[in-house]
Amino acid sequence: MVVTVAVAFFGLLLLGLPIGYVLGIAGVIGLLQIGGANFLAMAPTKFFEGLNLFTFMAMPFFILAGEIMNRTGITRRLVEFAEALVGYLRGGLAHSNMIASVMFAGMTGAAVSDAAAFGNTLVPAMEKQGYKRPFACAVTAAGSIIGPTIPPSNLMVIYGSLMGVSIAGLFAAGILPGLLIALLCMAVIVALGRRLNLPKNAEGPSLRLILTSFRQSIVALLMPLIILGGILGGIVTPTEAAAIAVFYALVVGLVSRTLSFDDMVQMLMRTARMTGVVFLIIASASILSWWMTFMQIPQAIAQGMMAISQEPSVVIGLILGLLLMIGMFMDINAALIILAPVLVPLTQAIGMDPVHAGIMIILTLNISLMTPPVGACLFVLSSVTGERVERISAALWPFLLAEVAVLVLVAYWPDLTLWVPRLLGF
């Protein structure tokens, strides 16, 4: 029975069927094998139950907020401020890319949005300054995963909703790992600066330029403070904060007269498409997840891992390896929905805090966004820049090693993740 569902799942995946359909069909096959037509009637119920969580409403709001910010020029102002801060360094525009990714992350929580926005703006700008396009794309891909690591993060909303973990606590826990990713990636840029002869601005740092760009971008910089301050201060829920983000971005767009009715229609359509894809995956995965629970597959996987070793460090290593391998071939939303119920009980068995475990799992899957063969950020950058995926991947490996180093620190040093949530009382 399990073999049939596994063959159907991987067979359909290899045929190129969208992951949302693959999950749903595999789940329905599992239900049919359990009890025929009687169990098949459960499929619609599980499909809708998978989406019947109020916190999921935050995702379309954050997606729409990101769309509005890209259209109104908020992203461009953040890039200009980042360039004023670090643009004078060797590889200054690459450093600016990382700083801008950190600031952009505090608004949208989506790696693909980051990759698309900076792939359209910063990659061409870096090429004009003399950067090779594969390297410019690699920097953008490495910075893009900061988006779903620093709050707000759509993956954290999904994990917290499914596992009953405080989303605000997860948001707080993602701050230090996200900043550490940015710092290590900037260290890689410094290390590669002379060898690759990265461009350096002739002019040194300018306090006047920093103050001018700060004044022009203050409206954009207030947005993450409003979102995170409201959530971490206990004033609003993540869903309410997402709605406030949309309202704030709309006000900025209307006041600056950078939004038209046609723009709004296009942004709403793009938001609906992206939300529909994610929600289809979540709903379809809920059918397969229920079947896996009924067949006690999570327990079998946990027992198998514990049979290899009950040493916490070994179990953590096995979890990281499993997630990195699966993330290379599967959509990370689907992987999170299917594997979180399997792996979280295992992490609890070795004494890991659920927030710590969640950040570890999410960061591992985030890294998969920039690894072939199905790294979403790689394909987005290839699409918007015209660069081949394999050339981007070849330039990406130093950044990938840096981010895996952060992952190891997060996995084996709980205080790195839990210090901020404890400080804030989560």
Neighbour count for residue 386 (Cβ, 10 Å): 10
Q: What is the pLDDT of residues 151-162, one digit of tens each?
A: 878 788 889 888
Per the document, the length of the chain is 426
Tokens for 385, please give them.
């820049």
The amino acid that residue 120 corresponds to is: N
Q: Phi and psi for 165 in degrees, rounded to 5?
A: -105, 145
226 touches 248 (CB < 8 A)? yes
What percent of the chain has pLDDT above 70? 92
pTM comes to 0.80
CA 180 to chain centre: 15
Binning the chain into helix, strand and coil, the percentages to the nearest 5 are 80, 0, 20
CA dist., res. 395 & res. 91, Å (int): 15
Rg (the chain; Cα; Å):
22
Mind giving me the DSSP string for 240-282? Answer: HHHHHHHHHHHHHHHHTT---HHHHHHHHHHHHHHHHHHHHHH
| Whole-number average pLDDT of the chain | 81
Q: E strands within 10-106? A: none
Q: Omega before 398 cis (within 30°)?
A: no
d(CA 389, CA 133): 12
358 pLDDT band, cuts 50/70/90, is: very high
Q: Can you give the residue ranges of every domain in the chain?
A: 1-40, 55-423
If pLDDT is split at 50, 70 and 90, which confidence band does 355 have?
Answer: very high
Q: Which carries the bigger pLDDT value, residue 108 or residue 121?
A: 121
Q: How far apart are CA 271 and CA 67, in angstroms?
A: 8
Give the model's confidence band at 202: pLDDT under 50 very low, under 70 low, under 90 confident, else very high: low
The Cβ of residue 4 has, within 10 Å, a number of other Cβ atoms equal to: 13
Instruction: Give the torsion through C-alpha atoms of 173, 176, 178, 184, to 10 deg.
Output: -150
Q: If you average pLDDT over residues 378-386, what whole number do you get?
A: 77
d(CA 107, CA 223): 7
Integer Cα distance of 198 and 210 in angstroms: 22
pLDDT in tens, 89-111: 788 888 888 888 887 776 666 67
Tokens coding 186? 């900037």
Distance, CA of 422 to CA of 9 (rounded, Å):
41
Give 184-197 pLDDT, tens digit per residue: 999 999 888 878 88
Cα gap 6→152, rounded to integer Å: 34
Residue 200, φ and ψ in degrees, nearest 5: -135, 130
Reply yes or no: is the peptide bond before residue 152 cis, omega within 30 of 0.
Answer: yes
The pLDDT confidence band at residue 297, using thresholds 50, 70 and 90, is confident
